[in-house]
Amino acid sequence: MSTPFPAATILGYPRIGRDRELKRALESFWAGRSSAAELRASAAELRAGTRARLGELGLSGAGVPLDFHYYDQMLSIVATFGAVPERFAHLLDAEGKLSLEGYFTVARGKGELAPLEMTKWFDSNYHYLVPEIGPDTPLRYVDSHVVDYLREAVAAAEQGGAGQGEAGGTSAPRPVLVGPVTFLALSKAADCAPGFDPLTRLEELVEQYAALLADLAGAGAQWVQLDEPALVADFADIDRARLVEAAASAYAKLADAASRPRIIVATPYGTARAALPALAATGVEGFALDLVRGEVPGEDDLAALAGRTVLAGVVSGRNIWRTNLEEALAKLEQVRAGVGPQANVVVSTSTSLQHVPYDVDRETQLDPELRSWLAFADQKVAEVGVLARALSEGRDAVAAEFAADAAARASRAAHPGVNRPEVRAAVAAVVPADRERESFEERDAAQRERLALPLLPTTTIGSFPQTTQIRKARAAHRKGELTDAQYEDAMRAEVASVVALQEELGIDVLVHGEPERNDMVQYFAELLDGFTATQHGWVQSYGSRCTRPSILWGDVSRPAPMTVEWAKYAQSLTDKPVKGMLTGPVTILAWCFVRDDIPLGQTADQVGLALRQEIVDLEEAGIAVIQVDEPALRELLPLEVKDQAEYLEWSVGSFKLSTSGVRPDTQIHTHLCYSEFNVVIGAIDALDADVTSIEAARSRMEILPAVGEHGYERGIGPGVYDIHSPRVPSVEEQVELLRSAAAAVNPRQLWVNPDCGLKTRGYEETKAALDNMVAAALQVRAEIESR
């Protein structure tokens, strides 16, 4: 007899470790300080710790997700099926399997061997590795690491034994894998086969998944979760109907497999509306629905799930706020009524919890009242348990928890920092004219006269190398070993040296170098009202990298100028213009945990108004060029096209609110860290900045002809060299890129700059690369002027 799915679960759990143990183990292995065996041992310990913790928090059996990855969930599928592009073929053994070292080489590259590209996972801040699939890329089930993890868990449960039930049965956790449709939909064509459509290999891949499922069943898996978030998104190059059809055929086949665990298809990050009927028509046993981002399905769709297991994702995996238990319970009851008594409704999270930190109880320095409003991963696991009891036994069985939730909610709503009438009034008073500047024609003329820049002006994106010396000073300041004054002196000295260097290099528009900023969002979060930082709130960004987002909990305002003194100081050292440097409202929102109690657009305007004051102050201090970075503009773009217009309206609106308080002769720059034409042209058109810098070196200025043809007439700075690598690009190489850029757009629009900020680079390569950049600009400038 098979046991039903437990009443509560989560779609996934953080894997980096409560104290970032995995980060440390990985980095020590990569640095050659520890062996593969030691890394494996640390990883096994982490998995055991996670199982124990989830058990303590009330999850059991198939309710426990098994989702450990050394680096990335997509890369783990690449490894499982040996699906590496040609350039890594030599890393595969005789069976076609990657070693652990090989796995990391695919992730991180080695020497001339470029790693897989990295990109954002849906609309989150997590980055996955993009598989490259061609007609001949291996797709064969060769790597059974998931099965090994399952065996490990089952063995541990049997050993810890008492009351765990029959071997491998109820004690088996639930392996979580990226599903075949999403895997291929997120893959790109291998270099050897430009234009190849990875989805055409779905049938082959599904066969291999079937082999993996058989293996999992043999090892005792009762259930498996296949994540198919691709089904909630619109893709520029894949028709939605085609994806749904692909999913229907893939899951019909998998459901037919002779030996397999029961299958749950998960559709996190949005609504499964489009795919649900087709999936329900297959023989899969379970569905995991995101009921935070997505709505509760309609009556017919729910009825089609009768007799199945439905993981109702009512606890958000995306934010750090405690769940509104009343609202969640109402959704659960609605689902239960819709699917009928034969179905099993399981309380779940909307997505994996990999996007939130581990445990709010560790935030002992947080104001206790604020802390009571929050739920990190562990608190969310407890919440699914509470809701499961409420659903099965009635609300009264968990009356205390519901009361505590109501109390926290009331304290939050009543907190004076959450609703500040003066901030609300300021946003309410914004009129459309506050978001508009004079015509570009007028601005352009005024700026050309004021700045008197040469053709192809050179500049940088803002940061200069963050040396160990800078980091040490910051750490010492934090520990109290440096006084505020001493720390500021050290940073001033750094600014002076960065300004001197740029003068020496002959750059036209200088920057102060951002030495005083630990992070481009956290820096502002610390200076604005309405934000708070955490001590342990790390979340995985990619591989071993983590970020510690601030929490935006209240109404936002600017108590005092934030960057003016730095900009003024830098400007006092030179006759050339110094660019003021700010992070834009959308990026600040994207890289924080944002409040969920008012619309995002309203928070964006609050931040926009605070930045507007800063920009006006910079202007008054004599700063003639001000850059407002929005690298995250694309990240928050809704996954469905139908929601994008509204997003662009408020996001672009908040940027323009921040930048439209200045005179026409003040030049506004923005910077976007990407260069896909559709996204960029929309953004640079809408943001109305005088100059926009974008990433373009790796794609060899591919986008520029389209920008030219589009009729875009403001300034553009396509990056002429890639800052992601220490390689120093030659003068000739940069000249080539500049020539092609100057042929594609009017040279009068063109700026010369690197792809992005230089903070991760060293000084030696930075000096050499910028020296070549200036030489290239001078050469192409002369060529154009002599025409």
Q: Which residues are catalytic?
A: 724
Cα-trace Rg, the chain = 27
> DSSP label at 737?
H
Q: Which amino acid type is present at position 663?
A: R
Name the minimum Å distance from CB 517 to ligand GLN: 8
Name the minimum Å distance from CB 592 to ligand GLN: 15
Q: Measured between alpha carbons, how far is 574 from 568 in angstroms, rounded to an integer?
A: 10
Alpha carbon of 549 to those of 7, 239, 358: distances in Å?
32, 35, 13
The alpha-helical segments, DSSP class H, found in 81-174 are 100-108, 145-159
Within 8 A by CB and 6+ apart from 217, the residues are 259, 260, 261
CB closer to Zn ion, 631 vs 729: 631
Read off the tokens for 770.
């910028």
Show the CA angle centred on residue 261, arms to residues 255 and 263, nearest 5°.
Answer: 55
Which residue number has the CB closest to ligand GLN?
A: 757
CB closer to Zn ion, 172 vs 697: 697
Residue 53's φ and ψ, nearest 5 degrees, are -65, -45
CB closer to Zn ion, 226 vs 756: 756
Within 8 A by CB and 6+ apart from 632, the residues are 586, 587, 589, 590, 591
Name which of Zn ion, ligand GLN, none residue 377 binds, using a CB cut-off of 5 to 8 Å depending on partner kind: none
CB closer to Zn ion, 417 vs 682: 682
CB closer to ligand GLN, 219 vs 691: 691
Name which of Zn ion, ligand GLN, none residue 85 binds, using a CB cut-off of 5 to 8 Å depending on partner kind: none
CB closer to ligand GLN, 196 vs 674: 674
Give the strand pairing for 223-227 and 545-547. Answer: unpaired
Name the minimum Å distance from CB 674 to Zn ion: 8
Report the sign of the C-alpha dihedral through residues 513, 518, 520, 522, in that order.
Answer: negative
Report the sign of the C-alpha dihedral through residues 772, 774, 779, 783, in that order.
Answer: positive
The alpha-helical segments, DSSP class H, found in 573-668 are 585-590, 600-620, 641-659
Name which of Zn ion, ligand GLN, none residue 581 binds, using a CB cut-off of 5 to 8 Å depending on partner kind: ligand GLN
What SS3 class is residue 120? strand
Name the minimum Å distance from CB 692 to ligand GLN: 12
Burial class (CB within 10 angstroms; exposed 0-12, middle 13-18, buried 19+) of 159: exposed
CB closer to ligand GLN, 312 vs 625: 625
CB closer to ligand GLN, 356 vs 694: 694
Residue whose C-alpha is closest to residue 747's, from 456, 512, 510: 456
Look at the chain and count its residues.
787
Q: Measured between alpha carbons, how far is 560 from 401 in angstroms, rounded to an integer?
A: 41
Name which of Zn ion, ligand GLN, none residue 405 binds, using a CB cut-off of 5 to 8 Å depending on partner kind: none
Name which of ligand GLN, Zn ion, none residue 297 binds, using a CB cut-off of 5 to 8 Å depending on partner kind: none
Name the minimum Å distance from CB 355 to Zn ion: 22
Residues that bind ligand GLN (CB under 6 A): 461-463, 514, 520, 581, 629, 631, 671, 673, 756-757, 759
Q: Measured between alpha carbons, how far is 751 from 509 in angstroms, rounded to an integer?
A: 10
Alpha carbon of 528 to those of 319, 464, 549, 606: distances in Å?
21, 24, 14, 11
What SS3 class is residue 137? coil
Name which of Zn ion, ligand GLN, none residue 629 binds, using a CB cut-off of 5 to 8 Å depending on partner kind: ligand GLN
Name the minimum Å distance from CB 690 to ligand GLN: 17
Name the minimum Å distance from CB 671 to ligand GLN: 5
Name the minimum Å distance from CB 534 to ligand GLN: 21
Read off the tokens for 650.
């408020």
CB closer to Zn ion, 673 vs 769: 673
Strand partners, 578: 510
Name the minimum Å distance from CB 501 to ligand GLN: 15
User: Half-sphere exposure of 101 toward its Cβ, with a 13 Å CA cutoff?
Assistant: 11
Name which of Zn ion, ligand GLN, none residue 520 binds, using a CB cut-off of 5 to 8 Å depending on partner kind: ligand GLN
Neighbours of 646 (CB within 10 A): 11
Q: Measured between alpha carbons, how far is 663 from 440 in angstroms, rounded to an integer?
A: 12
Q: Measured between alpha carbons, how far is 267 from 321 in angstroms, rounded to an integer?
A: 22
Name which of ligand GLN, Zn ion, none residue 463 binds, using a CB cut-off of 5 to 8 Å depending on partner kind: ligand GLN
CB closer to ligand GLN, 512 vs 568: 512
Query: Does residue 10 contact residue 380 with C-beta atoms inside 8 Å?
Result: yes
CB closer to Zn ion, 66 vs 673: 673
Alpha carbon of 57 to those of 49, 60, 168, 362, 377: distances in Å?
12, 9, 21, 16, 11
Show the CA angle centred on residue 292, arms to residues 291 and 296, nearest 5°.
Answer: 30
Residue whose C-alpha is closest to residue 232's, from 175, 189, 186, 196: 186
Name which of Zn ion, ligand GLN, none residue 759 binds, using a CB cut-off of 5 to 8 Å depending on partner kind: ligand GLN
Name which of ligand GLN, Zn ion, none residue 754 binds, using a CB cut-off of 5 to 8 Å depending on partner kind: none
Q: Measured between alpha carbons, how far is 606 from 590 in angstroms, rounded to an integer?
A: 14
Name the minimum Å distance from CB 548 to ligand GLN: 16
Name which of Zn ion, ligand GLN, none residue 588 binds, using a CB cut-off of 5 to 8 Å depending on partner kind: none
Residues that bind Zn ion (CB under 5 A): 631, 673, 756
Name the minimum Å distance from CB 760 to Zn ion: 11
Name which of Zn ion, ligand GLN, none residue 462 binds, using a CB cut-off of 5 to 8 Å depending on partner kind: ligand GLN
Name the minimum Å distance from CB 629 to ligand GLN: 5
